[in-house]
Amino acid sequence: MKSVATIMLGVIALFAPHTSAKGTDINILCENGMHPFSWQENGVPQGIVIEMIEAMLNVMGDEQTIETYPWGRVYKLGLTTPNTMICTMARTAEREPLFKWVGEVFSSPPVLVALKHRDDIQVDSFQDLRKYSIGTHSSSFRERYLVARELEIGVNIFPANSHQLNYEKLKKGRVDLWSIPLLLAYDIINNNNEIPNETIRIVYTLDELPQGQFMAFNIDTPDHIVSRYREALETIKSNGTSEEIISRYIRY
């Protein structure tokens, strides 16, 4: 007959947290449906950011599970659960004190682009944008920024529910400019079997908005864990691994 102590040890083992090769279980959460950065295919996480995190884990000699969820769940868990890392998000002033920041995963500035042959479009200042029609992603922070700067929906701004639709509107001349993060624009153009540098040109960058996507931990995560991931991220950026991964997904 098993002793009470033995049974209790079994119960403790059953409910004890799993540990990684380095002794700490980390919840690594990426947003699903964010091609080419992070998505799930046949139950397996895929994408630029997934491969970058796998490379970081290899640098650290660590083993962790990467999970993908809708953004709302990713953000809520990142806010409330210690030892949870959000793979990528914009580093805004509002979010700055809420997380421990690892570093920038990739740069993808919010830009307004025109078709390359549209020499008639010249933008030297924000005020010049008022001359043109701009395709935006509905309710995006880029659209909200433009509206806050007194551009008007239905006058200067023409929202759409998909980036692909905005690109089609740009090509058909239904809008003059397309508001989009740069790497996402490149990916959409690639998926249309076109070459970005032969198709579009940047006419304006929204410099006041976040210029890239950052990795961050829950605020109650121990500093030594954050430091390990920060060092690993810097390693894969400095040795060229991150750029090599991006180049396999996106052609410029």
The arrangement of secondary structure in 27-107+211-249, i.e. its CATH architecture, is 3-Layer(aba) Sandwich (3.40)
Which of 8-17, 145-154, 243-252 has the least mean pLDDT? 8-17
Question: By C-alpha distance, which of 87, 108, 106, 122 is closest to 209?
Answer: 108
Interval 209-240: pLDDT, tens:
999 999 999 999 999 999 999 999 999 999 99
Cis peptide bond N-terminal to 210, omega within 30: no
Spatial distance between the Cα atoms of 5 and 151, rounded to a whole number of angstroms? 70
What pLDDT, on the 0 to 100 scale, is given for residue 22?
A: 60
* 222's tokens: 């121990």
Spatial distance between the Cα atoms of 144 and 140, rounded to a whole number of angstroms? 6
Confidence of residue 6 (pLDDT cuts 50, 70, 90): very low
Confidence of residue 251 (pLDDT cuts 50, 70, 90): confident
Instruction: Cite the residue boundaries of each domain of the chain with CATH code 3.40.190.10.
Output: 27-107+211-249, 110-205
Tell me if the domain spanning 110-205 has CATH number 2.40.50.100: no
Interval 20-79: pLDDT, tens:
446 689 999 999 988 899 999 999 999 999 999 999 999 999 999 999 999 999 999 999
Confidence of residue 162 (pLDDT cuts 50, 70, 90): confident
Which of 9-13, 55-59, 88-92, 213-217 has the least mean pLDDT? 9-13
Q: What is the DSSP letter of 153?
A: B
What pLDDT, on the 0 to 100 scale, is given for residue 24?
A: 85
Which of 98-102, 105-109, 111-115, 139-143 has the least mean pLDDT? 139-143
Is 140 exposed, middle or buried, given 0-12, 13-18 or 19+ CB atoms closer than 10 A?
middle
Q: Residue range 106-122: average pLDDT?
A: 97
What pLDDT, on the 0 to 100 scale, is given for residue 139?
A: 84
Written as one string, the DSSP assignment of 22-83 is TS---EEEEETTBTTTBEEETTEEESHHHHHHHHHHHHHT----EEEE-HHHHHHHHHHSTT
Residue 2 reports pLDDT greater than 50:
no
Q: Residue range 92-119: average pLDDT?
A: 96
Interval 166-214: pLDDT, tens:
999 999 999 999 999 999 999 999 999 999 999 999 999 999 999 999 9
What pLDDT, on the 0 to 100 scale, is given for residue 140?
A: 87
Distances (CA, A) of 156 to 133, 137, 174, 209, 236: 5, 14, 12, 19, 42
